[in-house]
A and B are shown apart, each in its own frame.
Chain A
Amino acid sequence: SQQGEEDPQALSIQEGENATMNCSYKTSINNLQWYRQNSGRGLVHLILIRSNEREKHSGRLRVTLDTSKKSSSLLITASRAADTASYFCAATPYNTDKLIFGTGTRLQVFP
């Protein structure tokens, strides 16, 4: 069974707006990674945040991590129609290399 939960399950916004997705997990982790998936194809790595980091930026992406609440958020600023995809968080439990994925958020950005 999956360890992570994401909300919302689906999100629809207009181009130019910001999109925020939240992720919760259940155990201590080494890191948390965010991925994008278009139409059931392969996963594209977006960003990795380690357990000793609280915030990280990459282009229009901002990720936060709160290990005390076992939660993370992904913010996409100034969204574009090309950002339309499913977004998954994936936690690496402490002392393992496997990824435990969340349930995903389907983001639709309208032009």
Chain B
Amino acid sequence: QLQLQESGPGLVKPSETLSLTCTVSGDSISRSSHYWGWIRQPPGKGLEWIGNTYYTGSTYCNPSLKSRVTISVDTSKNQFSLRLSSVTAADTAVYYCARHSWVGGNHYFDYWGQGTLVTVSS
């Protein structure tokens, strides 16, 4: 059974960089035809796609966040990571990692991590 687990600091200071890692078990990132992505949800609000990566290292990001987002993959550890720079209180959210199925205009997220709350505060 495929499982994803987010890890990283739960508190980040304003203007600093948020860093999260997603560990995948039950599937090999390097042998998968899927993408691996990040989605966030501010408290009490809806979902926002951040971006994704493929095992080759190629990445795709939400244009609204692209200037601040770095997504990378480590196939040796079966992990992928998110870095979001220059954070503000508006970046406070539950961050989810998920497996992203993407074929043409068909996008969906079929496996999700449990999510991790990241609070931006001094």
Q: Do A and B bind each other?
A: no
